[in-house]
Amino acid sequence: MPQLSHLFSPIEIGSMTVKNRLLMPSMSINFGVDDNCYVTDQLTEYFLERARGGVGMMMVGGGGVHPGGQEQPDLPLLYDDKCIPALKQMVDKVKGYGTRFGVQLMHGGRQCYLPQKVAPSAIPAPAVVKGEVRALEVPEIKEIAGCFGDATRRCKDAGFDFVEIHAAHGYLINQFMSPNANVRTDEYGGSFENRTRFFFEVMADIREKTGPDFPVGIRINGNDFMENGWTLEDTVRLVPFIEKAGAAYIHVSAGVYGSTELTIPSMYSPHGCFVHLAKAVKAVATVPVIAVGRIKDPQFADEILARGDADMVAMGRALLADPHMPAKALAGNFSAIRPCVGCCLGCIHAVLAGEPGSCVVNPDVGREAQVRDEGKTLNPQKILVVGAGPSGMAAARLFALRGHGVKVVEKGPDTGGLMALASKAPGRGEINDILNFFRNELVRLGIEIEHDTMLDEAVLDEFKPDKVILATGSMPDMPVIKGLFQTHMALVTNVDILSGEEPPGKKVIVLGGGMTGLVTADFLGQQGCEVHVLNRKNRFAEEMSANDRYYLRESIKEKNITLYKKVSIKGFTRDGVSFKTRGESLSLEGCDMVVISEKQVSVREIKTLEDKTDATFHVIGDAKLPRHLMFCISEAEEIARSI
User: 3-state DSSP: the chain helix, strand, coil percent, rounded to 5?
Assistant: 35, 20, 45
The amino acid sitting at 371 is: V
Closest Cα to residue 621, out of 472, 475, 398?
A: 472
Q: From the CB of residue 608, how many other CB atoms can be counted at a distance below 10 Å?
A: 9
What is the DSSP code string of 471-482? ---EEE-----T
- The neighbouring-strand residues paired with 118 are 134
HSE-up of 19 (CA within 13 Å, CB side)?
Answer: 16
Closest Cα to residue 225, out of 126, 119, 121?
A: 126
Quick check: 419 and 389 in contact, CB under 8 A?
yes
Closest Cα to residue 199, out of 264, 88, 267, 107?
A: 107
- The neighbouring-strand residues paired with 577 are 572, 588
Choose, from 38, 171, 188, 268, the residue flagged as catalytic: 171
Beta strand pairing call for 22-24 and 57-64:
parallel
Closest Cα to residue 425, out of 532, 525, 299, 563?
A: 525
Active-site residue 171, yes or no? Answer: yes
Long-range contact pairs involving 572-578 (C-beta distance under 8 Å, separation at least 24)? 572/481, 572/482, 572/483, 572/484, 572/486, 572/487, 572/489, 573/483, 573/487, 574/487, 574/488, 574/489, 575/487, 575/488, 575/489, 576/489, 576/509, 577/483, 577/509, 577/534
HSE-up of 118 (CA within 13 Å, CB side)?
Answer: 13
Active site residues: 171
